[in-house]
Amino acid sequence: MRTDEVAGEAGLRKAELRLQAAARAGDVEALRLLLDDRVVYTGPDGSTVTKDEDLPAHRSRAMTVEVFDQQELHVTVVDGTGITHVLAALAGTAGGQPFAARLRYTRTWVHTEGTWRVLAAHASALPAPRGR
């Protein structure tokens, strides 16, 4: 793959899909590589989680994502910064409690050292689609 493909929208799209797959699989090593050390995730309730808090939750299985059904993915890249907008239905467990949610994620990615890493992420909860 050419360098411009890795750093561009196609590369960022692949990184987003790897992140989703790593979350589903509980692959802590892949998550470690995809998350910038400075990453802050803001959840739908306004709480924040750092990488140092997130990885142990996946490792201990206190946080599991059994379903990540991506319904939309939009990618924008400007120089070494990228944004992914994802709409997905999720199900799993958090803190030992089952959850199911429809979320819209906005992730800010930086392209450093030849790879994309998440620097910031935010999720907003959405109501279930009508008719379901």
Q: What is the CATH number of the domain that holds 95?
A: 3.10.450.50
Question: Is beta strand 48-50 parallel, antiparallel or unpaired with respect to 97-112?
Answer: unpaired
Number of domains in the chain: 1
Confidence of residue 51 (pLDDT cuts 50, 70, 90): very high
132 lies in some domain? no
23 lies in some domain? yes
pLDDT of 1: 44
118 lies in some domain? yes
Region 121-126: mean pLDDT is 97
131 lies in some domain? no
Q: Which domain holds residue 102?
A: 3-126
pTM > 0.95: yes or no: no
- pLDDT at position 3 over 60: no
pLDDT of 128: 76
54 lies in some domain? yes
Region 21-31: mean pLDDT is 96
